[in-house]
Amino acid sequence: MLAIGIIGASGYTGFELVKIALKHKHISKIKLYGHSSSGQSYSKLYPELSGFNCIIEAIEYIDFTLDVYFLALPHTKSIEIVEKLVKSYKCIIDLSADFRLNSKDLYDLVYHQNHTASELLTTKVYGLSEFVSSDKFKCASVIANPGCFPTVTLLSLLPLVKNFSNKINSISTVAYSGVSGAGKTSTADLSYSEMFGNTKAYSVLTHRHQPEIEQELQNNFPYSITMHLLPVKRGIYATHTIFLNEAIEYEKLNEVYQSTYKEKAFVRMREMPPELNWVIQTNYCDINFQVKGKNIVITSCIDNLIKGASGQAIQNMNLNFGFNETEGLI
């Protein structure tokens, strides 16, 4: 049985981690840490969990004897804590962006920071669960949990790109995310009155998830992704338009996707474009592709807080400890 710590427990991904952990067979102890929320009872913060009266403790006083640490902190806030934890050889799963990129230079550029633990960038595991080989998990120092947009995009595109890279002319992704993607926040432009009936693109051509996607895609063709706010609480819907230099037969494409995912519990290949509601409150990623001549359109979706964050983090923990991959998640 594992004792886990959730560092940054007060946000939405922290809340999802708590809910999954409470149902998880192999977790017997949960400790919560936070900055401004420290000292508060969790059931006061989230009255949904009225029976869970755990008190959030100050991050300064982390118990270093736990088995697994989930860091659900804002970007750039994980580095220092990970540096301390890594020394005790515990399982560390970082949900921030701090260890996703492989290159310190790229990280410093994209996040306007000086990464002080850059050696971990090369030893970490990029935890896109379906694409990590099982032996890698065992020796992981830090598991960098992928971003929400990279998760849905890479699961959709990797089988295509890995197998038909030379036939691809260009790929563009247009993704719409529920507002919870911005965290538990109080900015005026994300108020209910402002977002009701509304949508908008943001960070056009400058979103930080694009370098992360391109790092994993290793694309030798132009790639572009544009993010939007969807006027719902949760879920990401992504549409990938692929132009080919040379047509690919539907059957060949299908074979590649089927063989990639047939043993994977959380990717469901669909015969029709999926609906967002099919994956809400689940760890699934649903994917469909349509082909017409040299044009392929792939549509896919996840729950940003689960497969795009906390669910995949638990999936990574399960894989790392050799538990059933779906434990706590179905």
Q: Which residues are known to be catalytic?
A: 148
Closest CB to a second copy among residues 116, 277: 277
DSSP character string of 207-266: -THHHHHHHHHT-SS-EEEEEEEESSSS-EEEEEEEEESS---HHHHHHHHHHHHTT-TT
The least CB distance from residue 78 to a second copy, in Å, is 22
Residue among 320, 307, 309 nearest 2 (CA) = 320
Minimum CB distance to a second copy, residue 31 (Å):
22
Residues ≥6 apart with Cβ < 8 Å to 92: 68, 69, 71, 82, 85, 86, 141, 142, 143
> Considering the rule CB under 8 A, would residue 202 count as an interface residue with a second copy?
yes
Kindly state the DSSP code that residue 35 receives in the 8-state scheme: S
Q: Does 166 bind a second copy (CB under 8 A)?
A: no
Distance CA 126, CA 143 (A): 6
Residue 170 near a second copy by CB under 8 A:
yes
Cβ count within 10 A of residue 255? 13
Query: 3, 54, 117, 190: which one contacts a second copy (CB under 8 A)?
Result: 190
Give the whole-angstrom CA distance, residue 307 versus residue 282.
7
Q: Is 174 in the site for a second copy (CB under 8 A)?
A: yes
One of 299, 312, 316, 320 touching a second copy (CB under 8 A): 299
Tokens of 2: 């594992």
Does residue 230 contact residue 176 with C-beta atoms inside 8 Å?
A: yes
Q: Which is nearer to a second copy, 19 or 124 (by Cβ)?
A: 19
Spatial distance between the Cα atoms of 252 and 284, rounded to a whole number of angstroms: 24
Query: Quick count: other Cβ atoms within 10 Å of Cβ 243?
Result: 15
Q: Which stretch binds a second copy (CB under 8 A): 65-73, 173-181, 252-260, 315-323?
A: 173-181
User: Which residue from 38, 103, 163, 282 is in contact with a second copy, where contact means CB under 8 A?
Assistant: 282
The residue among 75 and 228 lying less far from a second copy, judged by its C-beta, is 228
Q: Give 7's strand partners.
A: 33, 71
204 in contact with a second copy (CB under 8 A): yes
Of the residues 106, 111, 224, 264, which one makes contact with a second copy according to CB under 8 A: 224
- CB neighbourhood size of 159 (10 A): 24
| Candidates 31-39, 64-72, 126-134, 200-208; binding stretch for a second copy (CB under 8 A) | 200-208
Q: Is 231 in the site for a second copy (CB under 8 A)?
A: yes
CA-derived radius of gyration, the chain:
20
Interface with a second copy, residue 257, by CB under 8 A: no
- Secondary structure class of 136 (helix, strand, coil): helix
Q: Least Å distance between CB 157 and a second copy?
A: 14
Does residue number 309 form part of the binding site for a second copy (CB under 8 A)?
no
Binders in 96-155 for a second copy, by CB under 8 A: none
188 binds a second copy (CB under 8 A): yes
Q: Tell me which residues touch a second copy (CB under 8 A).
A: 12, 47-48, 50, 169-170, 172, 174, 176, 178-180, 182, 184-188, 190-202, 204-206, 222, 224, 226, 228, 230-235, 237, 239, 241, 243, 268, 270, 273-278, 280-282, 288, 290-292, 294-295, 297, 299
